Structure 1
Amino acid sequence: MTQAAGGYDAAVTGIGMVTAAGLDTAASWDRIRAGSGTAAGRVPALAGIPADIGCWIPDFDPAAVIGGRKAWRLDRSSQFAVAAAAEALADAGLRPADWEGDAGARVGVVLGSGIGGAATWEKQHSMLLDQGPGKVSAMLIPMLAINMPAGHIAMEIGARGPNFVTATACASGATAVGAARELLRGGHCDVVLTGGTEACLVPSIVSGFQQMGALSGRRDDPTAASRPFDVDRDGFVPAEGAAVLVLERPESARARGARIRAHISGYGASADAYNATAPEPRGAGAELALRAALKDAGVAPHAVDHVNAHGTATPLNDLMEARLIRRVLGGRSAVTSVKGVTGHSLGASGAVEVAVAALTMEQQLIPPTANLDSQDPQIDLDVVVKEARPADVEVAVSNSFGFGGQNAVVLLTRP
């Protein structure tokens, strides 16, 4: 697709993923594309609390990926981010060794995270209570701080350009992608690594979600627990993971012969200004973000072929989002939610879903929404179910919404 009037394209040249669906992009995509059920189970770290299921990543070995001497100094959220960034750079065919000197100052890192180093915080707080302040780790703050995943990526690859983390709750990963695109548009960077990471499957955080009634109660059937758009949906399944995308200017990517998976061509953000945890019922705030992304890209609503929905499987979110999509885009867009497979990785979810939308566009194949057995009759959408659907996807949007009324929409176009 050619550049939209008034818009700006950022080329997606690399993708790295660490999710409960797979330890890398290929494995994650294969399971998401199969849509065979939620990658959930009992989480050992949650043993003893009522909400003990989640989409965790038991086979992730940080020492093998990062190196043992480095891995122990990083919170799990940073470990995921560094691993995903390494895969994304390799996928893009970029070598950090080429960024010595001034070139490194043109490489930025923008990540999203909703909570930060929760596992480190909980462990060290227990240490404080049990053994006193003298036993608290000197590494607590650099492991806990929410900005550290971006900082550790920069240290690993020599990226000395703008470096920050966006924290817009469950919209954080999508917000980061939008901010990264602006660094390219404004001429501040030539390459930006962007995405999101989260690792907070710990008792305090999960219990908080449980107490507010946000989680699925299907403890005896974890693989069927996350049910976006289903009439029997009863809440989300918490997850961990990360996704990192490499963004470049299209002309630069083409000049070096890079594969361009998709273009990031539009972005919109807004606030509901309504409630701390519940979405505005009609999606009025989310509509502002969606329409802003369309305007930014110069794309008409009827031109959107596919929506990668926020689709949390909570009763309120799915109904609000369905009304929004139907009202703004009409009925032709094919919709899916990958959270039926991956669960809800909070601040990382928007990045995972933008990555999946880029793969969908590249392969012209829309993954199904897992566990959708009986679509809610109030949800009047063309939701892809049962199996992946081949489709001509020229324009896609990825929706992300978060507590505090945070809304972010990323619009992708086919190169």
Structure 2
Amino acid sequence: MRPACAAVTGWAWRTPLGASIDEVLPLLFAGERAATPRHRFPLDTYPCSLVAPIRGEPREGRHRRFVRHLGLFAMEAGAEAFACAGHRRDELAGSISRESSGERLGLFTAVGGLRADWDELAPALASQQPDGALAWDRGFRLLHPFWMLRYLSNNVHALLAAELGARGEGVCFGGANAGAQALVAACRALEVRAVDVALVVAYDSLIEAETLVELGARGELVRLDRPSLAPPYSLLACGFVPGEAAGALVLERKEGAGNRALALLSAFDATDGQDGEPLAATIARAAEAVAQGDSIVDGAARGIAALDQAEREALARVLGADAVLLATAAAMGRVGAAAAVIQAIALGNILRFGALPPVAGFSDLFNKIELNQNTTEMHRPANVCAPLRPLERSEPTRARSAVGVSTGAPGAVGAVRVEAL
């Protein structure tokens, strides 16, 4: 199946490196890492000592009763991208009637999954007994009667749609590559003229308590006993830094966007039925679906040496051994379902700036290890491609396009291609 395509006319994000494009880009180019031991709750008892949370707090507003902090960040990003595209609320108010005059705005949201609010649930569960006896008196009475409303997966979708007057077609996606699915669906909706403008909002956090426990049990997080934090694509990599982010893109048909277009976007999603991370062949298939002779790729940066090596070899077969390998996730942490949207925004702005950021955390030590490994593999079989080399230092580029790949369990892959205008 061919990738879905559209023009990007607006973008915004909330990331561990900052809230604005101008704030984040210099940090990416400097090789900064957002990893920190500080979080909203103590990390002492969790299988990970470093996380990459979004900086700051969401703005005060009337939606705090129904939406948690990450959803509020997502709503902020959505409204900001909408304004960045030059739209006002009234001129894109959707209509159920296709004959109605005016453009129709479709909202496509993506969230990784439902996360427990442990600040609320822990006091209610702390004194419970296995048989459930006297559950009300033992703590359930502490829960607000409407507490379940905060767990609806489409809260952000509904509230943001009402705020922007979006009554066109739209979908709320969930899962590890929900962001990629939302991008594909939005582009397809534009292609068949179901909507005239699509707002895609993706948000996720891998720093929730139950998520840290699950990822730690699978051995995917940075280990506590390492003296230094090896970056993704290093042969010493032993896990990734969990992060969180919210991002939003405004998409339109290329012919309708005109000179308002910031970039052209292609998106593709794939699955292979694996219980955990997808196969390298699936990553290659997704990258091949969107690639058009590109020489830059932002990798999935899974931070497990064997997985990273397989990915580098697979991408080399698709893009060529001379392609440049970036890893924005090394700077921001892995951001789950938001990855495809965050990658699209990052790549679009990197290309427009005309420079490529290094893989954050790479040092001379890791370079020497890499060179020694390559020396021992000089007799590599002819049918096996040499793996892509991670970019060690920021460098200028004249390229106008790049590919990004992201992954998640079970067996999910997202791929985007961004062409800066």
Q: Check whether TM > 0.5.
A: yes
> How many corresponding residue pairs?
386
Residue 71 of structure 2 corresponds to 78
Residue 113 of structure 1 corresponds to 111
Q: CA RMSD in A?
A: 2.4
Residues 1:10 and 2:17 are matched in the alignment: no
Residue 288 of structure 1 corresponds to 285
Distance 2:334 2:3 in 1: 31
Residue 17 of structure 2 corresponds to 21
Normalising by structure 2, we get a TM-score of: 0.84
Residue 350 of structure 2 corresponds to 360
Deviation at 1:343, TM superposition (A): 0.6
Question: Once the two structures are aligned, what percentage of the paired residues are identical?
Answer: 24
Residue 333 of structure 2 corresponds to 343
Residue 54 of structure 1 corresponds to 51
Deviation at 1:8, TM superposition (A): 6.4
Distance 2:182 2:234 in 1: 30
Choose 137-146 or 334-343, whichever is displaced more: 137-146
Deviation at 1:125, TM superposition (A): 2.9
Residues 1:394 and 2:400 are matched in the alignment: yes
Residue 272 of structure 1 corresponds to 272
Distance 1:219 1:79 in 2: 35
Report the secondary structure of 1:151's partner residue.
helix
Distance 2:409 2:109 in 1: 18
Distance 1:269 1:9 in 2: 13
Rg: which structure is higher? 2
Deviation at 1:342, TM superposition (A): 0.3
Report the secondary structure of 1:340's partner residue.
helix
Aligned counterpart for 2:239 among listed residues 221, 231, 235: 235
Report the secondary structure of 1:70's partner residue.
helix
Distance 1:261 1:361 in 2: 11
Change (3 A) 1:226 1:355: farther
Distance 1:246 1:226 in 2: 36
Change (3 A) 1:41 1:93: farther
Deviation at 1:218, TM superposition (A): 4.8
Residues 1:381 and 2:388 are matched in the alignment: yes
Report the secondary structure of 2:41's partner residue.
helix
Is contact 2:302–2:308 with CA below 8 Å preserved after alignment?
Answer: yes
Deviation at 1:271, TM superposition (A): 1.7
Residue 329 of structure 1 corresponds to 319
Change (3 A) 1:248 1:105: closer
Is contact 2:4–2:267 with CA below 8 Å preserved after alignment?
Answer: no
Distance 2:158 2:286 in 1: 29
Aligned counterpart for 2:150 among listed residues 143, 166, 181: 143
Matches within 5 A, 1:189-268: 189-218=195-224, 225=229, 227-254=231-258, 257-258=259-260, 260-264=261-265, 266-268=266-268
Distance 2:392 2:179 in 1: 25
Report the secondary structure of 1:381's partner residue.
coil
Deviation at 1:316, TM superposition (A): 3.5
Residue 163 of structure 1 corresponds to 170
Residue 380 of structure 2 corresponds to none
Distance 1:8 1:203 in 2: 35
Is contact 2:94–2:104 with CA below 8 Å preserved after alignment?
Answer: no
The structure carrying a bigger helix percent of its residues is 1
Is contact 1:269–1:292 with CA below 8 Å preserved after alignment?
Answer: no
Deviation at 1:157, TM superposition (A): 0.9
Report the secondary structure of 1:181's partner residue.
helix
Deviation at 1:370, TM superposition (A): 0.3
Distance 2:144 2:206 in 1: 19
Residue 3 of structure 1 corresponds to none
Gaps in structure 2 of 5+ consecutive residues: 96-100, 127-137, 375-385
Aligned counterpart for 1:35 among listed residues 31, 38, 42: 31
Is contact 1:271–1:405 with CA below 8 Å preserved after alignment?
Answer: yes
Deviation at 1:188, TM superposition (A): 0.9
